[in-house]
């Protein structure tokens, strides 16, 4: 789907709200906090803004956020387990504002961030930004995947292959699948007016994942730590516009 100039305003509004919620939730990510409580606060923020959660009711999912702790790769379900010192967690929020979808996630730490975990967060965030730099008209989706994969593997880490980014706009998920690995020059060509997410998941160990019996929670098979960052972007003549940058100017208030 190719969007018009006016559609960028709608995506900016939805993206900014999702990013603001991720800014505002940071102070509640503390040792001893339950992820169900974090999700309850996010639900209140979405409603308080007069927006709608895209994930409540989506494919039977019943929460306003996915919260994925330590070796959970993605789709972690908010629950009553309390956060421990050193836990790293991805909080993923998708909101709908005037019909437009804003989908973003970032990493937080409860208590003190370990050195290996800090390197994982840094590499994962940098890989997203390298993917966004490759997102310009005339490049291909393979250029985005190659930029991410090459950098991550040079750092001795691995890119999850089992989940990908996606087109979005007035719908949550649309083609194309946005792979976080690939070969330069392959795949569809990027065009002005394309809206999609880039949401790389990076593991300290092997790329392999499995889904738990709850049919949602994806974990690393080798139990190594995993991190993810996600932005919703739009392709412009100059390159890419990021709809979900933190309004507070800091992508990761707790860490970077
Ligand atoms: C919980 C929402 C959901 C359900 C099935 S896939 C999915 C999901 C979660 C986070 C995302 O960024 C996304 O694009 C989809
Ligand atoms: Mn998301
Ligand atoms: Mn997404």
Among 52, 57, 58, 233, name the best residue to mutate to test ligand 1's pocket (greatest count of ligand atoms within 8 A of Cβ).
58
The ligand placed nearest to the CA atom of residue 64 is 1
Sequential pLDDT tens for the chain (256 residues): 899 999 999 999 999 999 999 999 999 999 999 999 999 999 999 999 999 999 999 999 999 999 999 999 999 999 999 999 999 999 999 999 999 999 999 999 999 999 999 999 999 999 999 999 999 999 999 999 999 999 999 999 999 999 999 999 999 999 999 999 999 999 999 999 999 999 999 999 999 999 999 999 999 999 999 999 999 999 999 999 999 999 877 655 455 4
**Gap between the terminal Cα atoms of the chain:** 34
Distance 201 CA to ligand 1 centre (A): 13
Distance 69 CA to ligand 1 centre (A): 16
ipTM of the complex: 0.97
Among 61, 196, 231, 244, name the best residue to mutate to test ligand 1's pocket (greatest count of ligand atoms within 8 A of Cβ).
61
SS (H, E, C) 140-199: EHHHHHHHHHHHHHHCCCEECCCCCEEECCCCCCEEEEECCCCCCCCCCECCCCCEEEEC
Distance 95 CA to ligand 3 centre (A): 11
Q: Closest Cα to atom 7, ligand 1: which residue?
A: 75
pLDDT on residue 120: 98
């Amino acid at each position: 789907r190719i969007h018009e100039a006016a559609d960028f305003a709608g995506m900016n509004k939805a993206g900014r709200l999702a990013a603001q919620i991720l800014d505002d939730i940071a102070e509640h990510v503390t040792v001893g906090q339950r992820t169900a409580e974090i999700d309850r606060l996010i639900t209140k923020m979405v409603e308080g803004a007069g927006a709608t959660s895209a994930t409540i009711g989506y494919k039977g999912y019943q929460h306003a956020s996915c919260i994925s702790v330590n070796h959970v790769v993605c789709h972690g379900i908010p629950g009553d387990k309390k956060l421990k010192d050193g836990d790293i967690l991805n909080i993923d929020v998708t909101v709908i504002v005037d019909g437009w979808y804003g989908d973003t996630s970032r990493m937080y730490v409860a208590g003190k961030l370990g050195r290996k975990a800090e390197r994982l967060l840094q590499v994962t965030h940098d890989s997203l930004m390298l993917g966004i730099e490759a997102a310009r008209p005339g490049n291909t989706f393979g250029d985005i995947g190659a930029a991410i994969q090459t950098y991550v593997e040079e750092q001795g880490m691995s890119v999850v292959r089992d989940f990908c980014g996606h087109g979005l706009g007035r719908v949550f998920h649309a083609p194309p699948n946005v792979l976080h690995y690939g070969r330069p020059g392959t795949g569809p060509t990027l065009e002005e007016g394309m809206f999609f997410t880039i949401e790389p998941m990076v593991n300290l160990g092997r790329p392999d994942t499995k889904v738990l019996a709850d049919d949602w929670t994806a974990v690393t098979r080798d139990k190594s730590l995993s991190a993810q960052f996600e932005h919703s972007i739009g392709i412009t003549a100059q390159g890419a516009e990021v709809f979900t940058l933190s309004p507070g100017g800091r992508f990761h208030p707790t860490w970077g």
